[in-house]
A and B are shown apart, each in its own frame.
Chain A
Amino acid sequence: MEFAESLRLSWRAIRSHKLRSILTTLGVVIGVAAVITFVTLGTSLRADVLGQVGADRTPNVYVWASPAGQEGGGPGAGAQPVFTASDVDAIRNLSGVESVVARGVVPTAAVSAGGQTVAQRQVIATSPSYFDSGGFAEGRAFREGSREVVLNEQAAGLFSPSVEVGDNVTLRLATGNSVEAEVVGLLNGSSGGGAFEGLGQSQPLVFVPTDPFYRTTLEVPGSGESQRVYPTLTVVAEDFAAVPETKASVQAYLENESDAAKLVPGNYEFSAETDQDLVDQIKELLNTLTNFVTGIAVISLVVGSIGIANIMLVSVTERTKEIGIMKAVGAQNRDVLQLFLLEAAMLGLFGSVLGTPVGVLGAYAAAQYIGLSLVLPYEWFAIAVAVGILVGILAGLYPAWNAAKTDPIDALRYE
């Protein structure tokens, strides 16, 4: 039996039960739409997040010590101040290393400017090279050893009028002392604070030079000398190609020769992560999330396919007589199987073809709502249509098989 003729006969069978076919198709439409919505949202979310993280990719290796086996939490989570000034110098001299930026936090109570006081838990103590990548809206980086601060625009905006370059601010330290400093630079609000400050651009950040502000010191074992110790380091490699090697040599140094190895608590381990590692982690996290939600959506697709199977079973029973007639006039089992399979496949196809735009529409609405720019996963549209047909065929297999092996004598007697 020619394919075109089967197609025509199946199409006619579908059309002869319009409402039933529409309702059956609707089940698949909803299933496919749900999957497409979540896949599209996942793709868009990933593109959005990776766009933020990956846009200003740097050849950086982020180093910190954290409890062994700790998963997630981002770079710097659980970091203990263990990297001494000598460690910083030693790492700077490793091959492939361009520079090392130490970073610590100075606990504070508040920041005051122009008579206003704003609570601020901590300020970040680092070296001027922290700002090498630029991002200044105004002013410059602070100088080491001077009482200067750099604020990002969010921090400056906490005051009204906003703090400007040249203003004086007072840092109320957690120890109870107050320190005056001059604002020398404002960081662009859209430039992130770096990997250790977390993703996103929202929080107010205040940066100060380690000298004179950072006072966390420890005695280096075996030397009797006290040095500043930092919880986190950013090692900048000479270029992207040197990143993996730098990461390895930094890790080797830390584990074997560093002061940090002696200072670190027993169950802690060193973490060294590159931008790429971070991006990969985020990717993985987002993939897991997308897969999870898509998995839930797939359930509705399964329900839709059960709908097809159900209606095909009814259809086969209803048309028992027709099957008998077809067989009496020479239809092979194969012909009957083909007819019913095609019918089910067409229901699945229509469902997926209609469901895809509905899903995109759903994703568009959701993206609008959460302020995401939509990225369309085109390959998924093709997959959806293929899955729709497949779902139809799978659902139609048993009913069509039933139809094919109907005994013509019984079928002709059927009323």
Chain B
Amino acid sequence: MAASDSDAESDVETGQGDAKGDHEGAAVSLRDVRKTYYLGEPVHALDGVDVTIPRGSYTAVMGPSGSGKSTLLNLIGCLDTPTEGEVWVNEREVSAISQRERTKVRGQEVGFVFQTFNLMPKLTAAENVALPLVFQGIDKSERIDRANELLEDVGLADRGDHRPNELSGGQRQRVAIARALSASPAIILADEPTGNLDQETGKQIMGLFQRLHDEGNTILMVTHERPIAEHAQRVIHVLDGTIERVEEIESPRRVETDLP
């Protein structure tokens, strides 16, 4: 059962100056979202969550494992549908649309960055970056141009022909970030993006996210490392399927680096 507008007053204030429960102008907005799994008895992975992610914001999600972080990410990423409530992605309600449509929204409006990079092992870096465009039916020459442009943007202009196994972890993650950007999505969802990287490389990746945010991209990042989360403007703390609190970071950490 989808929640109606009348439920708006029950919203937890999570936005940053945006109107209560207003999905207009927001990159992503969740209203009273519940996700229940039936494993013998009902398990509430998410139990009434209201979140609004404004455009151009940089948000971190923290919480212990099993708190519902991943479920939240899957719902926003259109990989999953809520049992109850509304999910708006780029001003479109996606909880009730067909799987086909949802896949389309996912391809166009969401860019995923994973902890384990998740690049296609048999494709070159450039082909990996261009992959989302393939499924959108974008022209080949246009795809190649876009992929080269993005690889240059993340500092891998000379690595386009390399397979993932010929790249370092940091390089792989940068390819993955370039891929996430290829369709110019409304939001970039990063799931522990530095989890598999050493500290120095992780710092470089955080520097890249910082730059992307400065350029106007919307970023939602799941992490359980406090220092990483402090790069964001605010931190949403999730516990037992509900939002425990939203913490505003007064002065987010900045990475001082010349690297892209």
Contact = CB atoms under 8 A, between A and B. Distances in A.
Interface residues of B, number: 28
A328 B106 contact: yes
Interface stretch (B26-34, B83-91, B114-122, B244-252): B114-122
B120 to A, nearest CB: 6
A9 to B, nearest CB: 8
B82 to A, nearest CB: 14
Nearest to B117: A325
A246 to B, nearest CB: 71
B135 A332 contact: yes
Contact of A330 (B104, B123, B140): B104
Interface residues of A, number: 22
Contacts of A13: 122
Nearest to B138: A2
Contact of A329 (B100, B122, B135, B137): B135
A408 interface: yes
A215 interface: no
Contact of B103 (A2, A12, A322, A327): A327
Interface string B108-133: 10001010001111110000000110
Contacts of B140: 2, 5
B43 interface: no
Contacts of B112: 328-329
Given A326-B135, A330-B183, A333-B99, A412 B104 contact: no
A409 B81 CA distance: 12
A1 B134 contact: yes
Contact of B120 (A325, A333, A335): A325
Interface stretch (B59-67, B72-80, B215-223, B227-235): B72-80
A321 interface: yes
A326 B103 CA distance: 11
Interface of A is mostly: helix
Contact of B122 (A1, A2, A5, A16): A16
B135 A328 contact: no
Given A327-B103, A330-B107, A408-B79, A2 B137 contact: yes
B118 A325 contact: yes
A332 B108 CA distance: 12
Contacts of A1: 134-135, 137
B16 interface: no
A93 B107 CA distance: 90
B146 interface: no
Interface in A284-330: 321-322, 324-330
B165 interface: no
Contacts of B80: 409
B79 A328 contact: yes
Contacts of B100: 332-333
B179 A329 contact: yes
A331 interface: yes
A258 B120 CA distance: 88
A236 B167 CA distance: 88
A325, A330, A409, A412: residue with the most chain B Cβ atoms closer than 10 Å: A330
A409 B79 contact: yes
Contacts of B168: none
Nearest to A322: B120
Interface in A100-128: none
Interface string A323-353: 0111111111101000000000000000000
Contact of B134 (A5, A16, A328, A333): A5
A13 B104 CA distance: 25
A330 B103 contact: yes
Contacts of B179: 329
Contacts of B79: 327-328, 408-409
Contacts of B134: 1-2, 5
Contacts of A12: 122-123
Contacts of B123: 12
Given A1-B135, A335-B135, A408-B79, A329 B74 contact: no
Interface in A365-411: 408-409
Interface of A: 1-2, 5, 12-13, 16, 321-322, 324-333, 335, 408-409, 412
Interface of B: 74, 77, 79-80, 99-100, 103-104, 106-108, 112, 114, 118-123, 131-132, 134-137, 140, 179, 183
19 contacts: A1-B134, A2-B137, A13-B122, A16-B122, A322-B121, A325-B118, A325-B119, A327-B79, A328-B77, A330-B104, A330-B132, A330-B136, A330-B183, A331-B103, A331-B107, A332-B104, A333-B99, A333-B100, A335-B135
- A-B pairs, top 10 by smallest CB distance, nearest first, are A330-B107, A329-B132, A330-B135, A331-B135, A325-B118, A330-B132, A328-B112, A332-B103, A409-B79, A408-B79
